Amino acid sequence: MTQQNQSRYHRQELLAGIGPDGQARLRASHALVVGCGALGCAVVDILARAGIGRLTIVDRDIVERTNLQRQTLYSERDAANGTPKAIAAQRRVAEINPEVICRGEVDHVGPESVLSYARDTDVILDGLDNLHTRFLLNDVAVSLGKPYFYGGVVATRGMSMPVLRDEACLRCLFPDSSMQTGETCDTVGVLMSAVLAVSAHQATQAIKWIVGAHAAIDRSLWSMDAWTNRTTRVSLTNARDANCPCCAARNFEFLAGMHDDQAAILCGRNAVQIAPRRTGTNATMALDLRRAAVTLRAHGTFIERDGLLVGTFTSVRTNDDSAVELTLFPDGRAIVKGTTDEVFARSVYDRFVSGL
């Protein structure tokens, strides 16, 4: 056989666990990737090259220069143009493998939109940066009975876990979001190789599901730290929580928007006000503005003034390259100035304020 007419998936079909049948299943499958930052890029790259039939990618952000260190689908040109990640990713997938039907959606995934994306898909993978939206995906996956592959990375460590029908879900393992360390990639950084380790684990379990190799799936909460070389695995066997509000009580709180009270108020004068999100037992939030100032100074010029923290980002610009100012109140409220785009303002809030 000449190289020309040999299948592009020849080396993958040689694998005993996949073969031509598994390849056909991949081609017949539709994957939803929510969030196309570092994890999302790597997962999309793996699935597109593996020959998934359809890919839907949802992301609300634009490509920035600081993404290029780890977000493998994007280029200098995407950053210079401020291209939405979903669009840049869709274009890149067309270059990588034109056989994949890929749809990029520039959108904020919330309770009102998530079902429309998830209904028609076979697997859901997350490339997200916040636990709140992960709990939303967890709700959707459990309610629809679809497999969901969780992955998360910050600094040099990360976790991956499959959420499968009738097995433990994310909320069985993490009963509320108060376990969030408050660290985000924007505040403490992230190592690309740690992202690749986690995304490889995540995408591999999804591929095993799609090709029908269900017994081979790693049914564990798998954690690793690329710096300390520590790897742990918590078995999901018997990990179901009989009191889990999601998979046991089937009370889909995040899908119902019960925890979704982060209100964005367009306050005019080219600014958006964001109120804090209250989840679980963390109903009241008092910010230590002095500590917040120390963290935010890595991203701009911030000073405490009259009981508020105010400043301008050097690491973030709006779509039309305007400066972004932030005013932060001790109760967690923030005004994002320089934009009237609610989705952009929420994104700035989630990246820089939610984790404080």
The count of residues interacting with Zn ion (CB under 5 A) is 6
Candidate residues 102, 244, 255, 334; the one interacting with Zn ion per rule CB under 5 A: 244
Task: Return the number of the residue (29 or 138) whose C-beta is nearest Zn ion.
Answer: 138
Catalytic residue numbers, as ranges: 185
Task: Return the number of the residue (161 or 335) whose C-beta is nearest Zn ion.
Answer: 161
Contact 141, 176 (CB under 8 A): no
Q: Which listed range, 98-106, 240-248, 260-268, 280-288, lies at the site for Zn ion (CB under 5 A)?
A: 240-248
236 is an interface residue for Zn ion by CB under 5 A: no
Q: Measured from the CB of residue 325, what is the shortest distance to Zn ion in angstroms?
A: 41
Q: Which listed range, 14-22, 165-173, 206-214, 341-349, lies at the site for Zn ion (CB under 5 A)?
A: 165-173
Task: Return the number of the residue (161 or 336) whose C-beta is nearest Zn ion.
Answer: 161
Contact 132, 248 (CB under 8 A): no
Strand 323-328: give its sheet, edge to edge: 264-268, 271-274, 334-337, 323-328, 308-317, 300-305
Q: Closest by alpha carbon to 296, among 140, 167, 188?
A: 188
Candidate residues 114, 164, 247, 335; the one interacting with Zn ion per rule CB under 5 A: 247
Q: Does residue 284 sit in helix, strand or coil?
A: coil
C-alpha 356/C-alpha 351 separation (Å) is 10
Q: Closest by alpha carbon to 325, among 306, 307, 299, 343?
A: 299
Candidate residues 195, 246, 316, 328; the one interacting with Zn ion per rule CB under 5 A: 246
169 is an interface residue for Zn ion by CB under 5 A: yes
Q: Which listed range, 113-121, 169-177, 311-319, 335-343, lies at the site for Zn ion (CB under 5 A)?
A: 169-177
How do beta strands 148-154 and 123-126 pair?
Answer: parallel
The CB density around residue 178, as the number of other CB atoms within 10 Å, is 11
What is the binding site for Zn ion (CB under 5 A)?
169, 171-172, 244, 246-247
